[in-house]
C-alpha cells in the first residue's frame, strides 16, 4: 500500500491534509481554521453520492442544470463518536427531469457506486429524500 496522502500538523489542533495531486484542505479539531474531520467525512460522503447522482442522471439523458445535497448526521454520545444516523436530501434542478430517473440514480449511487456511503452505512442508518425543481428552458 502506497502512503501518498499526507496530514501535516500546522498549529494547536489544526492540520493541512494533502492529496498526491497536491490538493489540500484545512482540518481543525476546534473548527477555528478549518472544518472538523467528522464534518469532512460527512461532506465527503455527500459529495461522493452527488457525483454519482449527476453522472447517472447525465447518462440517463436527464437535462440537469443544478444539483446539491443537504446532509446532516447524528453521532453517538460515547467514544468513538461515529455517525449513527445520516440524512441526505438531494435537490435536482433541470428541465423535465423524471422522478423515476432521480430515484434510480439515488439508489444506484447509495447502494452500488458510492464507496463513501457504503463505508458509512456499515455503522450508520442512511436515509435519503429528494426534490426536483423544474426550471425554464435555457
Domains of the chain and any CATH numbers? 1-35 (2.20.25), 37-134 (3.30.300.20)
Measured between alpha carbons, how far is 6 from 17 in angstroms, rounded to an integer? 6
Give the model's confidence band at 2: pLDDT under 50 very low, under 70 low, under 90 confident, else very high: confident
pLDDT tens digits for 5-61? 999 999 999 999 999 999 999 999 999 999 999 999 999 999 999 999 999 999 999
Task: Give dist(CA 70, CA 76) in Å, integer.
Answer: 21
Q: How confident is the model at residue 1 (pLDDT cuts 50, 70, 90)?
A: confident
- The whole-number pLDDT of residue 137 equals 66
Q: Check pLDDT > 90 for residue 136.
A: no
Question: Which residues have C-beta within 8 Å of that of residue 30, sequence separation ≥ 6?
Answer: 12, 13, 14
The residue written with cell numbers 498526491 in the block is 20
With 80 as the cut, is the pLDDT of residue 138 above it?
A: no
DSSP 131: E
- Decide if 108 contacts 56 (C-beta within 8 A): yes
Give the pLDDT confidence of 111-124 residue by residue, as tens digits. 999 999 999 999 99
Condensed to tens digits (0 to 9), the pLDDT of residues 74-110 reads: 999 999 999 999 999 999 999 999 999 999 999 999 9
CA dihedral 124, 58, 68, 125 (to 10 degrees): -10
Amino acid at each position: 500500500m502506497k502512503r501518498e496522502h499526507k496530514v501535516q500538523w500546522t498549529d494547536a489542533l489544526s492540520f493541512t491534509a494533502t492529496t498526491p495531486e497536491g490538493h489540500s484542505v484545512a482540518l481543525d479539531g476546534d473548527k477555528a481554521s478549518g472544518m472538523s474531520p467528522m464534518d469532512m467525512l460527512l461532506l465527503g460522503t455527500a459529495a461522493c453520492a452527488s457525483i454519482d447522482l449527476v453522472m447517472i442522471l447525465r447518462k440517463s439523458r436527464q437535462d440537469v442544470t443544478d444539483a446539491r445535497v443537504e446532509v446532516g448526521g447524528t453521532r453517538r454520545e460515547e467514544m468513538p463518536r461515529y455517525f449513527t444516523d445520516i440524512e441526505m436530501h438531494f435537490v435536482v434542478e433541470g428541465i423535465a427531469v423524471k422522478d423515476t430517473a432521480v430515484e434510480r440514480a439515488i439508489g444506484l449511487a447509495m447502494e452500488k457506486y458510492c464507496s463513501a456511503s457504503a463505508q458509512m452505512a456499515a455503522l450508520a442508518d442512511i436515509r435519503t429524500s429528494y426534490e426536483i425543481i423544474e426550471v425554464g428552458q435555457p
